[in-house]
Amino acid sequence: KIGGNLVPIRKWPWQVFLRIIIPTFNSTTMERGMVENGCGGTVISDQWILTAAHCIQPVSRILVYSGIVHRNRSEAEKSEKKIIYFVETAFSHPHYENETNDIALLKLEEPLSFDETVSPICLPHKDQSIPSDGQAVIVGYGTSNIREDSGNATLEDGKLRDTIVPLIKYNTCKTRIETALKYTGVDATMHICAGSMGHGAALGDSGGPMLMKAEDGRWFQIGITSFGGVSKWQTLQDESPGIYTNVRQHCDWIKQTTSGEASCEEEIVK
């Protein structure tokens, strides 16, 4: 992320990296191949990962890397500890369309083993209040810097970083997004808006978490990195905040899809 700080995985043990393998077909040469994308995700139970729907479109093979501070594949494969898990089934939200309901669940073929580097994140109560002028933390393995002199040139080292971002009120967010990106679908209920010049989600951070800390010391995932900022349009826009899927609005879908194996808090937390 832009303006991010390097962190150990023990700080955010629910963070995972998704290696997404998409099959391709060239109708001219009749050759088949594949391309790879990367996204973030979060552990919400021992067999379920939360991410963004746009990360797993179209049909693809997905590998989940847990407990790592660097998404380098060769380094991960050398680890004595099991950190690579295959996805059994991917569930995109049934009403995902045009950056709305950008949320997905991944069921792993086998359960994760929890320890100090791998553990689940809490999900907020569906009626949990979020201050419109507060701050949140975003985490990911994406771009860490942008060279302003070259427009969209980026530094993407794949190391785990976090950064604090200010939340932005709906009307301000809507105006900035419409001006910068010509996008008119920002929704006050379904989206959370955040970020500032020099701090925000970036390329490779999609699907990762937006976090807030409760008074009792627990961290909760309130959002999923969706679009805006530099996560989709490749350049850092001074007036383009990041847009995050509002997790609270999908508590019922999460519980239903996971058959209750993962769910939001039953009570509102201060």
Positions marked active-site: 54, 102, 206
How many angstroms separate the CA atoms of 179 and 244, rounded?
18
Reference 249, options 270, 218, 226; nearest CA is: 226
Q: Which residue in the block uniquely carries the two structure tokens 């100090």? A: 116
Answer yes or no: are the C-beta atoms of 103 and 52 closer than 8 Å: yes
Three-state SS at 221: strand
Integer Cα distance of 266 and 258 in angstroms: 16
For 51-62, letters b (16+ CB in 10 Å) and e give bbbbbbeeebeb
Alpha carbons 101 and 110: distance in angstroms, whole number: 27
Element (H, E) at 26: strand 15-26
Alpha helix positions (H), the chain = 73-78, 170-181, 251-257
Parallel, antiparallel, or unpaired: how do β-strands 104-108 and 84-92 relate? antiparallel
Residue bearing tokens 């010049």: 197
Is the distance from CB of 69 to CB of 63 less than 8 angstroms?
no
